[in-house]
């Protein structure tokens, strides 16, 4: 059975805007993105909302629904009561372009700052041999759809704009951890994670893990093991001795 749902949606451009109230019809089985599309079709043709797959796989429709980062296409209207007002706002950590669409180029910049997979010189393509356990370990991280909701929710940059230059965010610290776990990657990921990409800023609040639509255990399986390896390296007597000798 259809009903009239109440929405409060942030509308504006470049940081200037306000919440506006709408009433829109929704039908059984619909998601928040369906309601936004009906609003576009019937009342607000210029409402800006980014989306692509409507199947939870492209990562485009990230927004905040009742204050929580969610995918609009995967948030069922049946999770709200019919008399509830549903508040929809753009992701808070990134600058607004228009309405619900944010400029997520911070994330692409951070991605570019991480050197790609770096195999040893003496192993040619086709000669890589990996144990199944190493394949499986990184498989979880490769489910990432780059919705950037983990970076959006992390308080290190959500509440502190000034930390952005020094912090890659959970999505990309996870990428560094994935590369560090790769048996054929020879780049120094540990020092880079700590000194260039801000691993030390993470105080394992796990908000990133809670919002991940792919249910990746970002904190437990990527960030904490990476922190442990950084500590191991710092307290490894051989590494310590090597640093002493080579820094002279």
Q: Residue numbers of the site for ligand FES (CB under 6 A)?
A: 51-54, 56-61, 71, 73
**Site membership for ligand F3S, residue 207 (CB under 6 A):** yes
**Site membership for ligand F3S, residue 170 (CB under 6 A):** yes
> 205 by DSSP, 3-state: which?
coil
First to last CA, the chain: 76
Question: 183-197: b or e for each residue (b if 16 or more CB lie within 10 Å)?
Answer: eebebebbebbbeeb
- Only one of the segments 100-108, 112-120, 128-136, 201-209 lies at the binding site for ligand F3S (rule: CB under 6 A); that segment is 201-209
**Site membership for ligand F3S, residue 243 (CB under 6 A):** no
> 180 by DSSP, 3-state: which?
helix
The residue (of 73 and 114) whose beta carbon lies closer to ligand FES is 73
Cα dihedral sign, 179-211-47-57: positive
Among 5, 96, 156, 212, binds ligand SF4 (CB under 6 A): 212
Instruction: Copy the structure tokens of residue 155.
Output: 């308080």
**Site membership for ligand SF4, residue 146 (CB under 6 A):** yes
- Only one of the segments 44-52, 126-134, 144-152, 199-207 lies at the binding site for ligand SF4 (rule: CB under 6 A); that segment is 144-152
Instruction: Copy the structure tokens of residue 148.
Output: 């950037």
The residue (of 75 and 194) whose beta carbon lies closer to ligand FES is 75
> Secondary structure of the chain: what % helix, strand, coil (to 5)?
45, 15, 40
The residue (of 56 and 119) whose beta carbon lies closer to ligand SF4 is 56
The residue (of 86 and 212) whose beta carbon lies closer to ligand F3S is 212
């Amino acid at each position: 059975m259809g009903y009239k749902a109440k929405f409060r949606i942030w509308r504006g451009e470049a940081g200037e805007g306000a919440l506006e109230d709408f009433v829109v019809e929704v039908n059984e089985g619909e998601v928040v993105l369906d309601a936004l599309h009906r609003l576009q079709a019937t009342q607000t043709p210029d409402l800006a909302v980014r989306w692509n797959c409507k199947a939870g796989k492209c990562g485009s429709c990230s927004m905040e629904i009742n204050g929580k980062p969610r995918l609009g296409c995967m948030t069922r209207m049946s999770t709200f009561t019919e008399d509830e007002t549903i508040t929809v706002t753009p992701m808070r950590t990134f600058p607004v372009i228009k309405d619900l669409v944010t400029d997520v180029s911070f994330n692409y910049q951070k991605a570019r700052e991480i050197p790609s997979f770096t195999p040893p010189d003496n192993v040619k393509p086709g000669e890589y041999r990996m144990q199944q356990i190493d394949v499986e370990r990184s498989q979880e991280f490769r489910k990432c759809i780059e919705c950037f909701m983990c970076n959006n929710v992390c308080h290190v940059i959500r509440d502190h704009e000034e930390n952005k230059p020094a912090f890659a965010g959970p999505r990309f610290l996870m990428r560094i951890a994935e590369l560090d776990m790769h048996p054929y990657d020879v780049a120094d990921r540990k020092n880079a994670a700590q000194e260039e990409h801000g691993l030390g800023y993470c105080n394992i609040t796990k908000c990133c893990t809670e919002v991940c639509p792919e249910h990746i255990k970002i904190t437990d399986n990527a960030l904490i093991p990476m922190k442990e390896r950084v500590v191991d390296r710092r307290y490894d007597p051989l590494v310590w001795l090597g640093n002493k000798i080579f820094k002279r």
